[in-house]
Each structure stands twice: as C-alpha cells, then as structure tokens.
C-alpha cells in the first residue's frame, strides 16, 4: 500500500516475483522507481501513480478498474521529466498515461516510456503537459512511447492524427512512428511569439508611408495562421497610426500598414498583440526629417521698446508639424533692416536644429 503523498525507491528489486503498487486513487498514492530493477514478475498499479526514471524488467499493468491509476514516467519534482524503462505495458479499465514536455530531448526535456515488448492502449486515457518556455519549435517530435514491439489501440478521444491545441502550440498525435512501435506528438503549428515591423523608410520626411508587419515564431518563421488583433504605438506623440487591426486567414501572418511620423528626430513604430500573450515588435531608429517650411515664427523682440533703440528678434521657419525646417539665406526687403553678416547661416540646418535669422535695425 503506497502511503500518501508517495514514496521514491532508488534501490534494486530482484527475483522472479512481481510488485503490486496499490493506493486509494492516483492522486493519493505516488510510487517512483529510480533503480535498475531486475525482477521479472508483473508490476500491477491499482489506485496509484507509478513513475520514476529507473528500469522494470517485467511487464507492467496499469489498472483503473477499482480506482484511478496512472503511469507517469519522470521525476516527482520539477522538471517532472525522465525516461522509465519497462517490459510490456497494458492499460486496463481506462487507466491513464501522463506525458510532460518541457524541452526537445527525451529524458532531460520530456517524459518517455521506453518499452521492451508491446504496448496495449485500448481504453487508455492520455494526459499531457506542454511548457511554453522554451517555446516549442515547428516540426519538433516528442516520442512519448518507444517500444520494441507493436503499439495496439489508441488513447481514448485521440485517434491517429488528432490535434491537441495548447494555445501557444498545436501538436498532432501518431501511432505510426517506428513502423507502429512508437507514439509521437509532433508540433504542427505554433503561435506567434514576436512581431517583425519593417520597411518604413529611413530617413523620411513627414508623410504617409507603409510598413510591413509579420507575426513570427521563436525561430523567425512567419506564423501563417496568426489571426490576433494588433495595436500600434510610436515614440512620436504626433504620429498618425493605423487603428487596431485583426489579422485574417488571407493575410497569412503578414500585412502592410500606412503610418505618418510627424516629429523630426529618431523615432520608432511598435506593434503589440491585444490578446493574453505578450507579443510585440518594433522598428527603431527611423530618422524623420522636417518637411518643407510653411510658416515663419517671429519671436524675441522686446514687447516694450523706445523708438530708435536697436533690438533683436528671431525668425524661425517651421513645417506643418511644428518642426524647425531647413532654410537658406535670403535678403531682407526692408529698407531699414539688414542681415548681420555674422548671423547668416552658411549651410542648411538639419531637422531638430533651430534655423534662425537674427535682424537688427541700424
């Protein structure tokens, strides 16, 4: 009788006898065998959970006829993975097999039942756990059962090719691996983990232009099935950005949007998924130059002055977005005013640098 919460045995059991692992339910009795056991009799699990990373030379029967029973290869503590080696395995009365996947390699990354002999899955149930980090990779294969003999039957509700959706990844189950001696779970789709925002010209003058937006997985592949909703932001507080957009199947994970950046300087565009997953991406370092000047701002001349007293004021050329625009020297048409030679700009100003002309009455 397995005591609650469970027992881990790392020694070696030998002989011709069998082993009965009995509990009052799979959640109330855990027994982990971590040694290389050589006994040849049958191991029967009834109302308990059998796990571990050791070896069992004889056959194993997991029987839920009287109480829920589970076969769960792996460790009793995080990361809960490992390889359990056994003789032929059969599941009776709707018993359960539990598989945990946290990485790409059997033993260190996911649980595996390594069977010398056959496996009978008739009326067996399957429970799976898939970690989102590290992110599963498209095409990754988890061989959760690896036998030398045939695998007969299928898990309840999981016939050949059934898709198991974890939200961030979708796996397909197969009983055909190894010529019918393996049960595999293959990653056939992954959710987007990042956005690629690109194509917005740099440098650019403030005007509507297009940027490309892709939903990508952790390997940089375009996630063609992405149908989430994205929201756009920018470091430019004046930017004219697209409204929230929900991707369609026709987009195949990529869409082009128009945006206008209006503030001169180095700016960025960012796209963020509005759903429960933190998916974001940015195009940074976009150099925005001022547009052509369309106004002159006069400032700096004293509001109170005496006739005949010289004073200074500043004329600033600005574009439609209040950026300081590039100007070239010009002659005053006022017969009473002239440019001070020392204040004439010798080169066009750059965006973000004040382009000013100082006049003084002589």
Q: Tell me, what's the pLDDT at 110? A: 97
What's the maximum distance between 2 C-alpha atoms anywhere in the chain?
120
Q: Tell me, what's the pLDDT at 20? A: 94
Regions of the chain with pLDDT less than 70:
1-5, 26-28, 276-277, 327-362
Q: According to the 3-state scheme, what is the secondary structure of the chain? A: CCCCCEEEECCCCCCCCCEEEECCCHHHCEEEECCEECCCCCEEEECCEEEECCEECCCEEEECCCCCCEEEEECCCCCCCCEEEECCEEEECCCEEEEEECCCCECCCECEEEECCCEECCCCEEEEEECCCCCCCCCCEEEEEEECCCEECCECCECCCCEEECCCEEEEEEEEHHHHCEEEEEEEEECCCEEEEECCCCCEECCCEEEEEEEECCCCCECCCCCCEEEEEECCCCCECCCCEECCHHHCCEEEEEEECCCCEEEEEEEEECCCCCCEEEEEEEEEECCCCCEEEEECCCCCCCCCCCCEEEEEEECCCCCECCCCCCCCCCCCEEECHHHCCCCCCCCCCCCEEEEEEC
Spell 33-69 as b/e; 16+ CB within 10 A means b: bbbebebebbbbbbbbbbbbbbbbbbbbbbbbeebbb
Q: Tell me, what's the pLDDT at 360? A: 27
Q: Tell me, what's the pLDDT at 79? A: 85
């Amino acid at each position: 009788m397995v005591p609650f919460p469970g027992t881990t045995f790392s020694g070696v059991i030998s002989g011709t006898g069998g082993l009965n692992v009995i509990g009052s339910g799979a959640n109330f009795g855990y027994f982990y065998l971590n040694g290389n056991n050589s006994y040849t009799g049958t191991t029967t699990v009834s109302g308990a959970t059998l796990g571990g990373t050791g070896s069992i030379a004889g056959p194993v029967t997991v029987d839920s006829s009287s109480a829920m029973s589970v076969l769960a290869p792996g460790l009793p503590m995080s990361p809960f993975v490992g390889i359990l080696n056994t003789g032929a395995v059969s599941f009776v009365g709707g018993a359960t097999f539990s598989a945990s996947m946290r990485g790409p390699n059997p033993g260190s990354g996911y649980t595996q039942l390594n069977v010398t002999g056959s496996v009978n899955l008739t009326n067996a149930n399957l429970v799976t756990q898939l970690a989102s980090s590290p992110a599963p990779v498209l095409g990754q294969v988890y061989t959760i059962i690896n036998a030398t003999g045939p695998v007969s039957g299928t898990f309840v509700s999981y016939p050949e090719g059934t898709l198991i959706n974890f939200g961030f990844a979708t796996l397909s189950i197969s009983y055909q691996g190894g010529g019918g001696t393996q049960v595999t779970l293959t990653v056939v789709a992954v959710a987007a983990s990042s956005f690629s925002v690109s194509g917005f010209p740099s440098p650019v003058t403030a005007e509507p232009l297009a940027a490309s937006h892709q939903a990508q997985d952790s390997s940089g592949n375009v996630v063609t099935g992405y149908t989430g909703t994205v929201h756009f932001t920018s470091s430019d507080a004046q930017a004219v950005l697209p409204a929230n957009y929900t991707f369609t199947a026709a987009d195949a994970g990529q869409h082009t949007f128009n945006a206008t950046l209006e503030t001169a300087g180095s700016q960025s565009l960012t796209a963020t998924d509005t759903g429960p997953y933190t998916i974001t991406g940015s195009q940074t370092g976009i150099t925005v130059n001022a547009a052509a000047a369309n106004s002159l701002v006069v400032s700096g001349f004293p509001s109170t002055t005496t006739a005949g007293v010289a004073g200074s004021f500043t004329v600033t050329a600005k574009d439609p977005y209040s950026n300081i625009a590039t100007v070239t020297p010009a002659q005053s048409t006022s017969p009473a005013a002239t440019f001070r030679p020392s204040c004439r700009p010798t080169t066009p100003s750059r965006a973000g640098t004040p382009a000013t002309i100082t006049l003084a009455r002589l």
